[in-house]
Structure 1
Amino acid sequence: MTEPVTTDALEEYLVGRFGTETVAVRDLVKHPEGWSRNTYSFTATWDDEGETTNRFVLRSEAEGGVLDTDLEKEYRVMDAAQETDAPVPRTHWYEADPDVIGAPFFVVDHVSGEAPNTWRGSDRAMLEDAWETRNGLPEGFVDAAAEVHSMSPEDVPFMENPGVDGVVERELDRWVGKYESHDLRSEPIVDEAIRWFRENPPEIDELTVVHGDFRIGNMLIDDGEITALLDWEMARLGDPMYDLGYSSMPYLAGKLIDEPTELVCAVADREWYYDRYEELTGRTVDRYAVEYWQAFAIFVMITILLTGVDRYDRGESDDVRQVWLQYPIPGLLEDLLEILRNHVETA
């Protein structure tokens, strides 16, 4: 198991980065959130023509994570996003040498705010009130999507570019492969969905960066304002409609609670969300493509949850939270079946 990050290791590393004789690190905290990364925050003080203090966040590769994703690519796309108005933390360094702290890592600025949990009553109430009062939070949510999708393939030359004709095939190859490798039991609804995905792809005429996990729970909110969009580990070049479909999943609006909301991520009316996105980007929101990618995102979520359960079952992880991941799957299957029925009945 990877050893915890220490202040001594950070101080030694930062001395080299800052080019100063000493760096003092304090208030080092390991955060429990996240499934595929270790996350720490700390405060550093150093001499830069006078005493300078800043709080940073360090993200490192984690053993037994739910997904195997590219840490360097995550950092580089966040770095590229500095050229947009997306609310992304300021980037500093990516370190590939695992000997520094025990695993590759990157460092970004700490940003104030809390990530809302749509299954927590108080957070749900805050988000729904933001929609009722139009306090700027719903607008900021859509603005963030538009800014992510302002990044073209030319802005991220390090990313795989499958071309518009190869996007669906790439997604299917990746996620069907993962599903089949971690499938704990046969699920006819998923098998039928995979067949439908292959036979009914949407038309795609543009590739942009997609965040891949675009939801209000991956954003920090401070005083009613979105201050950061986090967790870029699933970012890739794809159909911008993917993020709209993904964020529209009922599951992400808190479906598991007693009274599910129709609001996207509990913060925005669905049609308003799509209309505002069209106004900001000049793109037409293809409702069929959004629903296709919503169904596909449900399949992705099921696959991710099964991966966590399977890894715990195989003894590849001792994170007991992964046992819980089985419980949302029936509700996700219900949502997937509803979309499939709608399209089969109207075909």
Structure 2
Amino acid sequence: MRARLEDFCRLEFGAGDLKVTALNRIPEGHSGFTYFVDLECAPYPRLVLRLPPPGAQPKGPADVARQGRIMSALRARGLPVPAVPVICDDPQALDGRPFILMEAVDGVRADVAASREDNTELARAAVAAMKQLHAVPAEGTGIAGESVAGLPEELNRWSKLIDRAPQELTARADELRRSLAKTMPPGSPRAGLVHGDFTFGNLLFRGTEVAAVLDWEIAGLGEPLLDLGSLCVIAKRHDFPKDPNPSGAVRASVEWLIDEYGAASQPVEWFVALSYFKYAAIVGYNTMLHRRGKRPDPIYDLMPDTVIGLIDGALEILS
């Protein structure tokens, strides 16, 4: 793959003497096939290569070209996302998969930032970045032609996924599904851009500022409070003391996050409960893939209690 990538970059950047000096899988994170690409004689000394899983259809979370279009559109509006100089949806260009090459942003992960900086300021910057992306009109998102997902569709999406998780982890999932459907807020969602996985773990920080919002795999148009729910789940990490994921390293209370966003009068608790359900589905599904050897990642050996705890936690919120 390295030789094919070098040939592609020489043509793309018009640099015949360009060399790929290193191609290394990024060790942090669990979002799939992402590599640092070190380049010599190129406009960018380092890029990040992002690919879908082998054999995956280029749709949904595996549609990396779509992710690139979203980031490019937001970057053009001044939002803190990586530049994406290459969006290639030709599967024959590299190794049978579409891919993007994006800027390697100068920043540190949330767990590193939390150990160095004032956590309240980090949380304030995260909420400000969230509000900034929620203020982007649909035509500025790169996916303006897509339909807006309603709350029933959102619940159905994660219901289908959790059904594929190991059954011993999801004994109360149907109970939670019914409770979420029964207590769903009425009305149509606002047509805002939703990151879908807005957590501290998907942010890079430079000082106390957000340097980049990463991992746009499940972004779409829908109710922006879904993102606030995601961030609030991560803030409640004390409910999951055995969870090895560092996404909740920044300390901020749920009440503080809701007030900072300006949503104290809205039904945020339901969105928090739905986010518990969503993350139970995601972790449970990835656990299934890991156990079957389809996408090995040892972290999922450590997370069965997390799936059970997320479901129980959501039921407690709704009760």
The TM tier, using the shorter chain, reads: 0.7 to 0.9
Residue 183 (structure 2) aligns with: 200
- 3-state DSSP class of the match of 1:78? helix
Q: How does 1:63-212 map to 2 (within 5 A)?
A: 63=54, 68-102=61-95, 103-117=97-111, 125-126=115-116, 129-131=118-120, 136-156=121-141, 158=143, 161-163=146-148, 167-185=150-168, 187-202=170-185, 203-212=187-196
Q: Given the superposition, is the C-alpha separation of residues 63 and 322 from structure 1 closer, same or farther in structure 2, using an over 3 Å criterion?
A: farther
- The alpha-carbon distance between structure 1 residues 321 and 139, as it changes in their structure 2 partners (threshold 3 A), is closer
Q: Does 1:46 align with 2:31?
A: no
Q: 2:280 touches 2:310 (CA, 8 Å); kept in 1?
A: yes
Distance (whole Å) between structure 1 residues aligned to residue 123 and residue 31 of structure 2: 28
Distance in structure 2 (CA, Å) of the matches to 1:84 and 1:253: 33
The reply to whether residue 227 of structure 1 matches residue 227 of structure 2 is no
Instruction: Mark the CA change 1:43 to 1:252 in structure 2 (over 3 Å): closer, same or farther.
Output: farther
Q: 1:240 aligns with which of 204, 220, 224?
A: 224
Contact 2:166 2:287 in 1 (8 A): no
Contact kept? 1:215, 1:265, Cα under 8 Å: no
**Corresponding position of 1:14:** 9
Q: Deviations over 1:15-41 (max 9, x none)?
A: 111123221222432212343421111
Residue 104 to residue 285, structure 1, CA distance change in 2 (3 Å): farther
Within a 5 Å distance, the mapping from 1:189-338 to structure 2 comes to 189-202=172-185, 203-250=187-234, 253=237, 255-257=239-241, 266-278=250-262, 284=263, 286-288=265-267, 290-338=268-316
Contact 2:34/2:48, CA 8 A, preserved across alignment: yes
TM-score normalized with structure 2 length: 0.85
Structure 1 runs, 4 residues or longer, greater than 6 Å off: none
Q: What value does the CA root-mean-square deviation take over the aligned residues?
A: 2.8
Task: Determine the structure 2 residue equivalent to 1:344.
Answer: none
Cα distance, 1:130–1:170 mapped onto 2, change above 3 Å: same
Alignment TM-score, normalising by the size of structure 1: 0.79
| TM-superposed deviation, 1:104 | 1.6
Percentage identity across paired residues of the two chains: 27
Give the direction of change, closer, same or farther, for the CA distance of 1:159–1:173 in structure 2 (3 Å limit): farther
Query: Is residue 113–residue 222 contact of structure 1 (8 Å, CA) maintained in 2?
Result: yes
- Structure 2 portions without partners, runs of 5+: 243-247
The CA distance in 1 between the partners of 2:55 and 2:312, in whole Å, is 29
Cα 1:68–1:272 shift into 2, 3 Å: closer
Partner of 1:61: 52
CA gap 1:245/1:232 in 2 versus in 1, 3 angstroms: same
Contact 1:64/1:317, CA 8 A, preserved across alignment: no
Q: 1:27 to 1:186 in 2, by over 3 A?
A: closer
Structure 1 pair 160–35 and aligned structure 2 pair: CA distance change class (3 A): farther
Q: Label 1:63 to 1:205 Cα distance change in 2 as closer, same or farther (>3 A).
A: closer
Which residue matches 1:25?
A: 20
